[in-house]
Structure 1
C-alpha cells in the first residue's frame, strides 16, 4: 500500500475543511477569516467527532509558512513611501491609540490576576486593528470614497510598522524575561539600522534587477523570482536575529516601490490567499473550545475593552491631531477590532512559550466577535456623531472646531529646521551604509582575501583598500557634501550669531567621517601607528579625489532616486479640512447629462454647493475653468465638496456607472490650502476678483473665516481684510506665494 506523508494528508484535511466552511460563510455574507478559524476548530486536536490534524508539528509548519506569505502580501500593500505620505494626523492618531491600548490591556490583564508577560502580550494584541477586515468592510459598505476613510487607511499603515516594532520588542522581552532598558534600546537601534540598510539596498538593487530582466520575465518567472526574493529576505532576517515575518514584510514593502508592484501583487494573490487560509485555519486548530467556556467572562471584558478602548483612544488621537469631531468618531468606530497582526503577536507568545495557554484562544474569540461588530459600528458612526453634537455642550464643540481649523494650512519651515532635518537624514543614512561596509569587510571580505589571495599584511592592505573604495563616496557625502545650500547661505549671511553653530555642525560632520575611517583602521590593524598612517593617507586621498567622488556619488544618488520614484505612488487623500470638504476626481461618463454643457449652464456651485477646480482632457489641463468651459466625455474633473455633496453630484457624472466604484485620487498639484491674510499680504484690501488669485495661483477661493464666521463660496466682490483665514483650492506650488 502506498504511504501518504502526514504533512500532505494534513494539508488536504485543512483545505477541505476551509473550503466547506468558507462556502457557508460566503453564503451568509460573513467574513471569510472567521470561516477559516471555525474550520480550524473543527479539524483541530480538541474535537474528535470529525477527522482531525493530529501532528502538532505540521500545524506549526503550516502556520509559519502562512505568516510569511501573509506578511509578504501586507508589505506589498504597505510601502515606505505611503508611510511618509500619511502625514502627521494619521501618525499621531495611531501612536496615541496604540500607546493607550497597550497600557489598557496590561492593566486589565493585571486586574484579572494574570502574569506580567500575559498582560503585556494582551496589550500588544489589543493595540493593532485589522487592515484586512477594515478594508473588506469599507468595500462592502461602499464608503471607500468617504473622507474619513483616508485617515483610517493612514492609521492602518502606521500601525503595520508599529506592529513589526512590537514583534521585535516582545521577542527581546520574552528572551530576556525582564524589561532591561539597554536591551530594549539595543533592539530598537538594531531594528532601525537594518530597516534603513535593507530599504536603501533594496531600492537600489531590486528595481534595477527587475528592469534589467524585464524582457525575460513572463508571469511564471516573475512569480518564482518574487517568492524567491521574499524567502531570501526571510533568511537574512533570521540570520541577524529577527523573525521570518519581518523579512517577508520588508521584501514586500521594497517590491511595493517598484514599477512591477501591481503585477507582483496580482501574481502572488493566489499564493497569499492559499497560505493565509492555512494560517487562519492553524489559528483555529490551537483553540480549545473548553477554554472558551471556562474563560467566558475575560472574553467579554476584553471584547468590551477592544470596542470601547479603540473608539475612545482613536477619537482622542484624531482630535489631538486636529481632525474634526465627525471624522474622529467615524475613524474610531471603523477601527474597533483586532485581526491578523494580533494573531501573529499571540502566536509569538505561544511559540516562545512565554504566555499562558488561555491567552491565545481568548484573543481569537475576541477577534471573532469584533469582526462581526465592525460593519455595524461603521454604519452607526454617523448617527452616534449626531447624538454627540446634541448632548455635548456647545462651547466644547466650538473649541474642537477652532482647534481643528487652527491646525490646518500652510506651515513655513525656518531655515534652521530645513537645514537640521536635511543634515539629520544625511548623517543617519550614510552612517548606516558606512557601518555596514565596515562590518561586511571585516567579517567576510578579509577572511576571503586572506584565504584566497594573500595572507598577512598584504591581505590586510588589500582588504582596507577595497573597503575604503566602497566607503569613500558615502564618507564624502557624510562629511564634505554641501546640503541645502540656500538655507545655509541665508543663515550664514543674514545672522552673525548663526555662524558659530554652523561651524560646529560642519566640524561634527568632518569629525564623524574621521571617526568612521579610524574605526575601519582599528578593525584591520594591530598597532595605532599603522592605523594612524593609514588614516592620514585616506583623509588626504579623500581631499585629492573630492571631485571624482562627488561625480560618482551623484550617479549613485540619481540611480536610487530614479528607482524610488519609478512607480508614481497614488497621492494621499488631502488632509481633513473645514466644513468637512475634500477633493475628489470624477470622470464624465459618455451617457452623462453633463456632456456638452458649459459650467454656467450646469450651475454646479449654485445647485450642489461644489466647486470645479480642474478639468483634465487627455494631455490638456484646465485649472480653475471659467463659466464658458464645457464638459466632454471622459473629462476628469477635480471637484471640492462635502461627502454628501459629492455623493449627490457623482450620479450626474457617472451615469449608469457603479456609484460605489472607488474614485482616483486628486492630481498632485491641486490641493486645498489655508492662508492667513495680514496687512503685508499682496492681496490685502483687494476684492477676490481683482486680487489675481485665479491667474497667480490657478486657484479658486472656496471659503473665508472672518471674526469667527465662515463664508462658504464667497462673492467675488468681497474685500480681503486683516486676519482673514482664506481657503483656496489651487496649485500647491503657487499658493504659498500669497504669504510673501
Structure 2
C-alpha cells in the first residue's frame, strides 16, 4: 500500500469533520462558522474521541492561506468607494464603537488582573463586529431592506478598515512592547503612505491590464491571474513589514473597482470557502476545553461587557449623528457580537507570542455565545424601542427629534472650504506619489544603473534625469494645477482675499521646489542641488504645456479606471430609442447647481432644453413622475429623457456628470424605458394622454409614440391613442405591467 503523507490524511480528517458538523449546524439553522470551530475542537489535540491531526504546523500554514483568501474576498466586497459613500453617520458610529470597546476591553482585562498586552489585545478583539454573522441574521429575519440595516452595513465597512489599522498598530505594539506614541504615529503614517501608493498604482495599472487582456481570459485564466495578483501583493506587503493579510485585503479592494470584480468574487468563492473552512477549523483546534471551564467566569463577564458595550456605544454614536432613537437602538442590538477579525487579532497575539494562551479560547468562546444571541437581540430591538419610547420623558423625545431633524438639513459648502480641502488633498496625494518615486529611484533605480550601465557621477545624473521625468507631471500638478478653479476665482474677485490666494500659490510652488531639492540631495551636494533645482523649476515653467498634457493623460487614465464599473453600469442603464436617438439618463444635482431650489415650472426644462424629467430620486424617496411644482434640491438624482444633444445641453446647465449606480439604489424603484402596444381591447384606446390615467396608474411618463409610421417624441397631452400605436413609457416595469394586466381584464 502506498504511503500517504500526514498532510493529506490531516486534511481529509479536517474536511470530513467540517462537512459533518456543518451539515448538522445547517439543519439546526445555526451559523456555519460555529460548526467549523466545533469540528476543529473534535480533531484537535485536546479531544481523543476521534483521530487527531498529526502535523499541526502544516495545518497552521493552510490556516494562514485561509486568512489571506478570507481577507482577499473581504477586500473584493469592501471597495474604497463604498467607504467614501458610507457617509458621516456610519463613520461616527463605527469610530465611537471602536474607541469605547477598545477602552472597555482594556479596562476589563486589567480588572481581571491580566497583563497589559492581554488587555490591549482583548480591546482589539471586542471592537470589531462580525460581518458574516450580521448578514446571515439579516437574511434570516428579512430586515435587509430596513433603514437601520443600511446604516449597519456602512458601520461594518468602516470597521473593516479600522481592523486593518488595528492589525498594524497591534503588531507594532507587540514588537516594541511599549506604548511609544512616536512609534505608533510612524506606524499609522507608514500605513497611510503605502495604502495611498498601492491604491493609486493599482487603480492606474490593474484595470487597464484586465481590460486589454479580457479577450484572452476565460474563467480559468482570470482565476489564476486574480490569485497571482493577490499573492504578489501579499509578498509586497510582507517585504515592507506589514502582515500578509493586509496585502490580500488591499489587492481585493483594488480589484473591487474593476469591471471584473463580480466575476472574480464568484470564481474565488470556492477557494475562499475551502481555505476559510481550514482557518476556522484551526481556530477550533487551538481551543482547550479545560481552559474554557477554568475561565468560565471571565468568559461570562466579557460576554456581558461585549453586549452592553456595543449596545451603549453604537446607539450613542447614532444619536450623536442624528439617526433617531429607533434606528440607533436597532443598529446597536444588531452589532452585539464579535467574529472573523477578532479571531485574526487573537491569532496575531499567539503568533507574535505576546498574549497568554488563555486569551485565544476565551475570545472564541465569547464569539460563539454572542453569535447565538445575535438573532434574538435583533428581534428584541423593536420591542426595546417601544419600551424606551414609553418611559422617556416627552421633552427628551422632542429634543431628540429636533436634533435629528437639524442634522438632516442640507448644508452649504463655502468656497474657502472647497479650495482648502482641494489643496490639502492635492498636497497629500501628489506628495505621496513624489516621495514614492524618489524612494524607488534611490533604493532600486540608482543601484541598478551604477552596477549595470554607468559608474560614478554619470549614474547619478542619469538617475536624476529619469526620476525627474516621472516626477514632472506631479510636480506641475502640485505647484500649478487649480482643482477648484471656479471657487478660487470667486474668492479672487474679493480684493481682500487676493493676498491669501497669492501666499497659498507660492506655498505650493515652495513645496514642489522642496521635493526637487530632496531628490537632488540624494545624489549631489547641497550647493549643486540648489542650483540644479532652480534650473529645473524654470524648465518646468517653460515646458509647462507639455507637462500639463502628460499629467492630463495620466489623470484621465486613472479616472477612467476608477470609474470603470460605474461607466459599465451606466451603459447597461442607457436605454436608447434608436430611431429617435433618445435615451434615459441619470444626472446628479450638485450642491452649487443653478437648478437647486427651483421648481420644474420655474426652470421650464422641457421648453428650454427639450428634455423631460421623468423621475426624481431624493434619498430613500422616489418621486415618479414629478409634478410641475416639484422643486429640485442638492443631492437629487434626475432621470432625464431626451436626445443626446438635449441631454448634453441640460447636463451643462446643471454642471454635473453621469451618476454611477450606488448600492443603496437597489432598494428604490427600478426605472426603465418600457414599450406598450395599444391593442383593440386596450384601456388606452381612443383616449388622450391626459385622460388615459397612465401617469396616475404607473407613475410613469410617456416620452414617445410611434403612430402609423410616424415617431412623435415628447407628445402633447391632448394626443389620442389609436389601435397599433406603440407607446414608450419611462417608469417602473412592474407598474407598467399592471397597466397591461388591467387591459387584459377588460378583454
Using structure 1 for the length normalisation, give the TM-score. 0.80
TM-superposition CA deviations, 1:505-557 (whole Å, max 9, x none) = 112111110010000001111x2232223212211211111000001100110
> 1:666 — aligned with what?
none
> 1:236 — aligned with what?
236
Distance in 2 (alpha carbons) for counterparts of 1:402 and 1:195: 40
> 1:16 — aligned with what?
16
2:349/2:355 contact within 8 Å kept: yes
Which SS does the other structure have where 2:566 is aligned? coil
Count of equivalent residues: 630
Matched, 1:533 2:531: yes
- Per the alignment, do residues 653 and 314 of structure 1 end up closer, same or farther by CA in structure 2, a change over 3 Å counting? farther
Distance in 1 (alpha carbons) for counterparts of 2:547 and 2:358: 60
1:588/1:654 contact within 8 Å kept: no
TM-superposition CA deviations, 1:609-640 (whole Å, max 9, x none) = xx9987799999x99xx99999x99975399x
- Per the alignment, do residues 380 and 116 of structure 1 end up closer, same or farther by CA in structure 2, a change over 3 Å counting? same
- Per the alignment, do residues 226 and 84 of structure 1 end up closer, same or farther by CA in structure 2, a change over 3 Å counting? same
Which SS does the other structure have where 1:514 is aligned? helix
- Per the alignment, do residues 88 and 355 of structure 1 end up closer, same or farther by CA in structure 2, a change over 3 Å counting? same
Matched, 1:402 2:402: yes
> 1:471 — aligned with what?
471
> 1:332 — aligned with what?
332
Within a 5 Å distance, the mapping from 1:299-448 to structure 2 comes to: 299-448=299-448
Within a 5 Å distance, the mapping from 1:593-604 to structure 2 comes to: none
Which SS does the other structure have where 2:668 is aligned? strand
> 1:204 — aligned with what?
204
Distance in 2 (alpha carbons) for counterparts of 1:402 and 1:627: 47
> 1:130 — aligned with what?
130
> 1:637 — aligned with what?
732
- Per the alignment, do residues 601 and 444 of structure 1 end up closer, same or farther by CA in structure 2, a change over 3 Å counting? same
- Per the alignment, do residues 627 and 267 of structure 1 end up closer, same or farther by CA in structure 2, a change over 3 Å counting? farther
Give the Å deviation of 1:249: 0.2
- Per the alignment, do residues 204 and 614 of structure 1 end up closer, same or farther by CA in structure 2, a change over 3 Å counting? farther
2:74/2:252 contact within 8 Å kept: yes
> 1:690 — aligned with what?
none
Which SS does the other structure have where 1:60 is aligned? helix
- Per the alignment, do residues 140 and 617 of structure 1 end up closer, same or farther by CA in structure 2, a change over 3 Å counting? farther
- Per the alignment, do residues 101 and 485 of structure 1 end up closer, same or farther by CA in structure 2, a change over 3 Å counting? same
> 1:517 — aligned with what?
516
Give the Å deviation of 1:588: 9.9
Which SS does the other structure have where 1:524 is aligned? coil
Distance in 2 (alpha carbons) for counterparts of 1:516 and 1:208: 29
2:134/2:335 contact within 8 Å kept: yes
Distance in 2 (alpha carbons) for counterparts of 1:324 and 1:532: 59
Distance in 2 (alpha carbons) for counterparts of 1:475 and 1:629: 64
2:701/2:729 contact within 8 Å kept: no
Which SS does the other structure have where 1:413 is aligned? coil
1:100/1:313 contact within 8 Å kept: yes
Give the Å deviation of 1:309: 1.1
Which SS does the other structure have where 2:52 is aligned? coil
> 1:735 — aligned with what?
none
- Per the alignment, do residues 523 and 263 of structure 1 end up closer, same or farther by CA in structure 2, a change over 3 Å counting? same
- Per the alignment, do residues 341 and 617 of structure 1 end up closer, same or farther by CA in structure 2, a change over 3 Å counting? farther
Using structure 2 for the length normalisation, give the TM-score. 0.79
> 1:707 — aligned with what?
none
Moved more, 10-19 or 187-196: 10-19
> 1:553 — aligned with what?
551
- Per the alignment, do residues 300 and 175 of structure 1 end up closer, same or farther by CA in structure 2, a change over 3 Å counting? same
- Per the alignment, do residues 638 and 164 of structure 1 end up closer, same or farther by CA in structure 2, a change over 3 Å counting? farther
Matched, 1:267 2:281: no
Name segments (4+ residues, structure 1) moved above 4 Å: 569-577, 587-590, 595-605, 611-620, 626-630, 632-636, 651-655
Give the Å deviation of 1:380: 1.5
Unaligned runs of 5+ in 2: 571-587, 589-616, 622-663, 675-681, 707-712, 722-726, 742-747
1:415/1:487 contact within 8 Å kept: yes
TM-superposition CA deviations, 1:32-82 (whole Å, max 9, x none) = 000000000000111112111132312321211110000000000000000
1:330/1:381 contact within 8 Å kept: yes
Higher relative contact order by CA 8 Å / sep ≥ 6: 1 or 2? 1
Distance in 1 (alpha carbons) for counterparts of 2:298 and 2:422: 50
Give the Å deviation of 1:602: 9.2
Give the Å deviation of 1:451: 1.3
Distance in 1 (alpha carbons) for counterparts of 2:739 and 2:177: 61
> 1:568 — aligned with what?
566
Distance in 2 (alpha carbons) for counterparts of 1:323 and 1:627: 47
Distance in 2 (alpha carbons) for counterparts of 1:217 and 1:257: 18
Distance in 1 (alpha carbons) for counterparts of 2:14 and 2:190: 38
Which SS does the other structure have where 1:454 is aligned? coil
> 1:699 — aligned with what?
none
Give the Å deviation of 1:492: 1.2
Distance in 2 (alpha carbons) for counterparts of 1:270 and 1:370: 27
> 2:245 — aligned with what?
245
Give the Å deviation of 1:384: 1.2
Distance in 2 (alpha carbons) for counterparts of 1:233 and 1:654: 54
- Per the alignment, do residues 230 and 318 of structure 1 end up closer, same or farther by CA in structure 2, a change over 3 Å counting? same
Distance in 1 (alpha carbons) for counterparts of 2:221 and 2:301: 50
| CA-atom RMSD in angstroms | 3.4
Distance in 1 (alpha carbons) for counterparts of 2:242 and 2:160: 16
Give the Å deviation of 1:574: 7.4
Distance in 1 (alpha carbons) for counterparts of 2:379 and 2:719: 41
Distance in 2 (alpha carbons) for counterparts of 1:358 and 1:182: 31
Distance in 1 (alpha carbons) for counterparts of 2:3 and 2:560: 54
Moved more, 61-70 or 566-575: 566-575
Unaligned runs of 5+ in 1: 606-610, 640-648, 656-740
Moved more, 528-537 or 37-46: 528-537
- Per the alignment, do residues 382 and 429 of structure 1 end up closer, same or farther by CA in structure 2, a change over 3 Å counting? same
Which SS does the other structure have where 1:337 is aligned? coil
> 1:499 — aligned with what?
498
Distance in 2 (alpha carbons) for counterparts of 1:619 and 1:359: 71
Matched, 1:585 2:668: yes
Which SS does the other structure have where 2:491 is aligned? helix
Which SS does the other structure have where 1:567 is aligned? helix
> 2:219 — aligned with what?
219
> 2:258 — aligned with what?
258
